[in-house]
Every structure is written in structure tokens, then in C-alpha cells.
Structure 1
């Protein structure tokens, strides 16, 4: 039996979409307050409502938060392989404690249970946020070195800590694979995460910025995870990006396929810096601080990632990014017509 954590999230829901189309038994864990609507809509949009409902019912949903050891113990009974995609994604400095609790401590609990239950293989969905450029190299590769003295975001620190827990499981005899996706695009909750891009463009987003980074479709992330798990590869890490492209170009593609005007104004570094100052002032009166002082610089720094390893070792083929965006835009337009 396969266990998926984070099953109601962007990656987890697409893992479930693919895995339920196999002969495997699937269990997914969720926490209090989780909504299943997006998962059901993803199944319906991809498979049709009748087939989607049929396959959705194959999922054995178990309430088991990552910090509830007794519940996790029950969820792990009979499990042979684990896809760990549950995570908190936040760049709000106020969420530091929760990031570490969910991403590091939660992953430590999953790793411990994989060891205790002698799970055959564990796949962890991490992020390129944990990776950095090696001096003298043009592209970030899997052979990077983590430098703790660098100015990492709290999110990156928490995901790096989670990776350490996964590697610990590998040292205890659990075969593992770690995937590090770039910015993930796909259908999901349009009010948060990278899917918010579609909603913002639809609402008339005015500004773009030139930053180049790695992007990938969520279906490719799910497919890469399954291919890595089904392969003999173990104790390896893979960057998962389709291509390195600017946010400006991505926003233009989104606008094109939503039949909306493309954002025409370029965000300037001084605008973000002024925004940080104004935000800092609001914290004096109890407001939340959402941006760190140094974050405005990262919005204008280009980072190029190499996907050579996954293409060569797993013979993985990526879906062109504009094709991903076109399909996702279509799902966005149909989203509210799916009734649950």
C-alpha cells in the first residue's frame, strides 16, 4: 500500500490523481481543517466527473497530522512506500516556528515511521529553495553545498532541515529519493501558492519583474516522483524544472491563455524596498511583517537550474512550459463549473 502525505495540496492531489489510476492501494493523510474540494475538482477535470468520482473513492483518507504520532502509527500500518509532499510554504517571518515544526519535525516523524515500519522506499518533495550556486558554475546542480552562513529564507532552512531527516532515514536503511522542484504551476487552490498567478493575472495584474528561475508543471512533478519510486534508483536527489524562464515571460503566457492583457509595468527594486519600509512601520502598530529586508533583492536576481541529471538518469521528458500554462488556464476557466 502507498501512503501520500499532503494529499490535499497541489503536488499531493496530482500524485493521487496518477496513483489511483494504477492497481495499487492508496492511503492519504490529512489534518484538521483540510478541504477536499480541490482534489475532487482535479479528478473531475482530468478524468470526467463519473470516472473522477470513481477513482477518488479508491483513496483511504486518514486523519493524521504530522505531529500526531499515534495517528501516524495507525496510518503507516501495511504501508510499503511513502510519498511525503506535506509541507508549509510561507515566506512570512512570523511563521518561522510553524515552518520548522511542520517541515522539519513533521518530516522527522515521517522518517522515523519509515524506519520503524521498514518502508521499502520514501520519496520526499523538497524545493530548489534549498539549493545554491557553486562558485565557478553557471547552473545550480545537485552537487551544491549548503552554506548556513548565507542569507537563506526561513522556508529554505526548514526544507533543508527536512532533507537532513530524509537522509538520516537512508542511513538507517530506508531507500530514498528527494525531488527539488522549481516554481510549480498547475491547477489547485487559486488563492495561494504559485496557482495564485492565474487569479492575479485574471484580475488585472499590472506589474511584472524580470527575475529568471526554474519553473515546472505539477503533473511533471508527480510523474517524476512516481518514475523515481518505480525505478531502481535510490538515495539520489533530482532537480525538477522544465526550463529557466523569467516571471515576465510566464505572466505573458498566462495572460495570453486567459485572454487578458499582459502586465505591462516592470517592478523596480526601489518599489519593493519602499514597500518593505512601509510594512515595517505597520508592525509597530501590530501589523504582520510579510517580507524580510533582504527579500527585495532576490526578486531581481536570476538563478539557473540544471535538469540534466533527471533527464539522463531517469530518462525523464518534461512538458513544455507554455503547454502547461495553456492547460492550467483552461482548468482555471472551468474550475467554478465543477460542483461539489
Structure 2
């Protein structure tokens, strides 16, 4: 793909519709030089929508898809219609080498199922993981995985997630030696399940792998910026993610209620508005948009269903960065380095 990655965009997916998806693509085009797009969806609607974004015409090709995966569709239903839906054709474009990555704001379960079936897992990876960037008080966002693709994981899965998460942090956050931790119920060596303790033992002894394993981290420290990659099973990760998102909304709503409670509070809001705007920007999921299915033979990015144009552009930016930095190759190389030290355990099926 070189310096001009081509991104396949499911133009019909997401809660906000085609107009927001195209606005996000247009914004990404302005933010990143040389980017090209394969816009997948209803050809007539896309052509009409491009009238508002003339800067996209020369950089885009349209692939007609007569069908759309609905938010209510089960993964099995979506898989049967993969060859006719905008989501399925975007993924297939990656498989065929017509695009370096696919981006969709559609049904998460359907996207995960179709991506895994079409692209298959990489050699040395037993299960793909869903990774996302979360805001912290540190100098950079934090990578967290798995966020729901695998409800139960053994030590081998957690080790592979750690290697993939570190490679992702090096690629997207541009960290040479990401700090990696396992989510646990305590920081002591004796805490946690056997799977977590076995994974920790393996990661502590890892050599020639570009990561700094720091041990365990508890849920109340996730936002402190003390680590760059947090690894967990999908059950724990999804609960932690939803709790963090709910807490952010709770804080925001509480501040709104407090500032509206009296005239003095309203005056206080006007005085503190720059600070509250900074808080709102930091917690806005659109500014951290773009979850990734790591471990597949191809790159697929999941954008929030309700993302605005800024969120869509950020998801596309994540996809472009992974293509330009050849994330799949980096994961393969890191797994090989780990295997050389740890033996066949990492690649054992």
C-alpha cells in the first residue's frame, strides 16, 4: 500500500447514516495526505452524497452493495448475506487486496463474525481480540484488549493479546517500548486466576519483545496513565469498558445538574467553562474512536455506531496508520521473537 493507503468504508453502516459517514471520510481526506477510499454501499445514494464533498471524488471509487446489515441482524444472518451487504463487501475488499483496511460503524457482532470468517486468524494467533484506545491522565491514550470478542481466555490467549496490544501501541501511539499490564483483582503475585498468573509468568520472562511488562493492574488505576496496554479476557474487558463509559456520562450529567441548580452555579459555569470544555473533549468517545480486531489476516476497524464525522475520521485515521506501519507484519515478528524464547507454547493450538 505504500504511503497511500486505500481504505474500504462501509458507507451505509452506523446509526447516523450515509451523510455522517461521507462527512467523516471527507474530513479524513483533509487530515491525511494521499489517502484513497473504496466507498461501499448504494451507488446512487453515495454519488448524490458526494455532491457535498467534491474533494472526495478524485480519491474515491464506489463499490455498489444492494443490501445493508441492520443493527438487529444476528451474526449468522449477516454472514449469509455477506456478498450483498456493504459491510461484507468492505471486508472482502481487504481479503482480495483491493483495500488495506476496512472501516464500519455497523453491527459489532456481525462485523466480528464476518471478519473472522473471511480473513481467518493469523498464524500463531488462536483467537482475534477487540482492542480500543481509552483516555487517561497520562501523556497518551491506553490500549485495552480484549473488549468482548472472547468471554473466556486461557494463559496462551492472554499472552498473544499482550504481544498484539504492544504491537498496536507501537504502531498507533508510536511508543517504542509500551508498558503492558494484566487486569487483575490485585497487584500481588498470588492474586488472580491460574490463567492470569501463568500468563504473567510467561510475560515476565519474555526477551527480545518490544514491551515492558509491569505486572498486574486493578480497575481503579486504568485511567491513571501508568501503563500503555491493558490485557484481559473479553468478559472482564467489556464490563470495565462499559463501566468507564457510564462513569464518564455520570460525571458529565452530574456537572450539568450542578451548574443548573442556581444562579450562582450558572455564573460559576461561565467562569469555569474552559475547564469543562476541556473535560468534555477529553471524555468524548469520538476523540478516541476506532476499535480494532487484532489477530486477523487483514485489518478491520469498528467505529462507534453513533460516531459523528470527527469520530468517523478518527477511525479512518487509525486504519490508515495501521496500514502505513504494516501492523500485521509487526505482530508476526513479535510473536516469532516470543516463540524463540518461550518455545512452542505460544503457537500451540
**TM-score computed with the length of structure 2 as normaliser:** 0.34
- The answer to which structure has the higher helix fraction is 2
Greater relative contact order (CA < 8 Å, ≥ 6 in sequence) = 2
| Structure showing greater Rg | 2
